Every structure is written in structure tokens, then in C-alpha cells.
Amino acid sequence: NAGVTQTPKFRILKIGQSMTLQCTQDMNHNYMYWYRQDPGMGLKLIYYSVGAGITDKGEVPNGYNVSRSTTEDFPLRLELAAPSQTSVYFCASTPRGERGGYTFGSGTRLTVV
């Protein structure tokens, strides 16, 4: 049981490049989330999903896209990277009906130069 797995752990992008942050969970959790963590700013919700085929915007969705074709995977897509997207990205999951018992991945540190 690996929990929530995020890849890559580190990435440097040039402005305007695109990339996909991968997130996979093996706990059969229905709910999945993407947060970004900026210094002194806590965790901000980018997108979330309550099940396969269902996604919704969080607090800071601009510049990102997501898809949820399976229960296990919830990739985050950056189409045109900007310096403002330099951050640490965390994926999390929780079973339906469990309040707040998020399991987080270990994060992806992204730098846009």
C-alpha cells in the first residue's frame, strides 16, 4: 500500500513550457485534491474531484487543468508555465464520507524560470 504517489519530486520549467504533475493513489479513495503551498501562505486548493469523471475548481484554478478518468489517477496539467506557478504542489485523497482525513503525497517542487 503506497498511499498517494506524486511524480516528479522536482522540476524546473522555462516560461511557456507545459508539464503534467502525476498523482496516483492505491487506497480506492473517491475524493482527490490538488493544493499548492507558497511560503507563509498555507495550502491553497487548485482543483478537486469527488469521483472519476467529476472535477471542480478550487480557490486558485487559473493556469491549471485536471482530469479524472480513473479512481486512482488525478493528473494536474500546466499549459503555459509562468513564474507565479513556482510552488510546491501537493496531491491528497480521502474516502467518501470521511471528513478531513486527507492522505497527502510527498509533493512536487516546481520552479519556473
Partner 1 sequence: GENVEQHPSTLSVQEGDSAVIKCTYSDSASNYFPWYKQELGKGPQLIIDIRSNVGEKKDQRIAVTLNKTAKHFSLHITETQPEDSAVYFCAASFFGNEKLTFGTGTRLTIIP
SS3 30: coil
Binders in 89-108 for partner 1, by CB under 8 A: 90, 92, 94, 99-102, 104-107
CB of 22 to partner 1, least distance (A): 15
- C-alpha angle with apex 25: 71 to 30, nearest 5 degrees? 40
Region from 13-21, 33-41, 68-76, 77-85 binding partner 1, contact rule CB under 8 A? 33-41
Closest approach of partner 1 to the CB of residue 82, in Å: 23
Q: 44 or 77, CB closer to partner 1?
A: 44
Amino acid at 78: L
Restricted to residues 47-66, the positions that interact with partner 1 (CB under 8 A) are: 48, 50, 58-59
Selection from 28, 27, 33, 25 nearest residue 49 by Cα: 33
- The DSSP line for 32-81 is EEEEEE-TTS-EEEEEEEEETTEEEE-S--TTEEE--SSSSB--EEESS-
**Longest CA pairwise span in the chain (Å):** 41
Size of the site for partner 1 (CB under 8 A): 25
**Residues lying near partner 1 in the complex (CB under 8 A):** 4, 31, 33, 35, 40-45, 48, 50, 58-59, 90, 92, 94, 99-102, 104-107
